[in-house]
Amino acid sequence: MASYAGELNPQQVPAVRVTSLHRSFNEAGGVLNGLDLDIAPGEFVALLGRSGSGKSTLLRALAGLDRGVAGTGVIEVPEKVSVVFQDSRLLPWKRVLDNVILGLRAGDAADRGRQALAEVGLAGRERAWPHELSGGEQQRASLARSLVRDPQLLLADEPFGALDALTRIRMHTLLRNLCEVHQPAVLLVTHDVDEAIVLADRVIVLDGGVVRHDTRVELDGRRSQADPAFARLRARLLTELGVEDDHDAVPGRRLDQRVAS
């Protein structure tokens, strides 16, 4: 994975720079409280956090979709930003190819769309209606729609959250390959610690509206859960998230913990 790992060095201009970002939905308290974040060009960042930690709020702020939300701070993002949503969000009344090239202003839009579909393994399905595709295929089509725009920044909000476990593993491989080819900076919001470690160059844990933990994934080659370094990182991240990985613990202890939390 080191091949597509964008190294953050001081000379480089970051793809994303967020400075002291505040966002709040009501007077009670902020969702984001002075968050700072840099993402290097081509760097794959996974964003972990408990529900309500502000992951999606941050992503929507970067995507420019948080009109009407009160807040302050400075956000610098590249010109070409693509968003992958949790639902594939294909327009049901457009065929797959027309969905992929929607709003694409280029003479060879159809050709590029076909190429993007081939890249995600959907060659030959150009004329299908979205409802004829499986959940995984729909999400692949939505990936094609994002990549055909050559984004400098790809924002993904739990893109595989609604897929079954096996499809998800296949999608991980696909996304990794696509990122190696297209080299966008990526911010992936996820609940899944394993997914974060498998995919990302850097994992960030959000808590209380600020970056609480920021770690590089220093695993070479194929990232396997059997690797002890993988397991150590996983345990550390889970601790940061306030979860103890206690599959082996005695049942009584687990119960106590649940009551306590």
Partner 1 sequence: MTTLTAPARPLAAPEDVRPTRRRLGPGEPIRFGGLIGIVTLLAAWVVGSATGLLDPRTLTEPWTVLQTAGTLIENGRLQESLVTSGIRAALGLGLGVLVGTVLAVISGLSRVGESLIDGPIQVKRSIPTLALIPLLILWLGIGEPMKVITIALAVFVPIYIHTHNGLRTIEGRYAELAETLGVTRGEFIRHVVLPGAMPGFLLGLRFAVTSSLLALVVVEVINATSGIGHMITLASNYGQTDIIVVGLVVYALLGVTADAVVRLIERKALSWRRTLAS
Binding site for partner 1 (CB under 8 A): 63-65, 81-83, 85, 87, 89, 91-94, 102-103, 129-131, 145, 149
> How far apart are the C-alpha atoms of 185 and 211, rounded to whole Å?
18
> How far apart are the C-alpha atoms of 175 and 257, rounded to whole Å?
36
Amino acid letter for position 144: A
* Residue placing its CB nearer to partner 1 in the complex, 25 or 129: 129
Alpha-carbon 68 to chain mean position:
24
Pull the structure tokens for residue 219. Answer: 């695993």
* Residue placing its CB nearer to partner 1 in the complex, 48 or 185: 185
Alpha-carbon 72 to chain mean position:
24
Minimum distance of partner 1 from residue 148's CB (angstroms) = 10
Minimum distance of partner 1 from residue 66's CB (angstroms) = 11
> How far apart are the C-alpha atoms of 77 and 74, rounded to whole Å?
10
Dihedral angle computed from the Cα positions of residues 48, 157, 75 and 198, in that order, rounded to the nearest 10 degrees: 50
* Residue placing its CB nearer to partner 1 in the complex, 133 or 179: 133
Minimum distance of partner 1 from residue 101's CB (angstroms) = 10
Closest CA to 58 of 187, 240, 192, 161: 187
Minimum distance of partner 1 from residue 127's CB (angstroms) = 12
Minimum distance of partner 1 from residue 65's CB (angstroms) = 6
What are the residues whose beta carbons fall under 8 Å from the beta carbon of 152, sequence distance 6 or more? Answer: 15, 41, 78, 79, 80, 81, 184, 185
* Residue placing its CB nearer to partner 1 in the complex, 91 or 123: 91
* Residue placing its CB nearer to partner 1 in the complex, 64 or 124: 64
* Residue placing its CB nearer to partner 1 in the complex, 92 or 251: 92
Minimum distance of partner 1 from residue 156's CB (angstroms) = 12
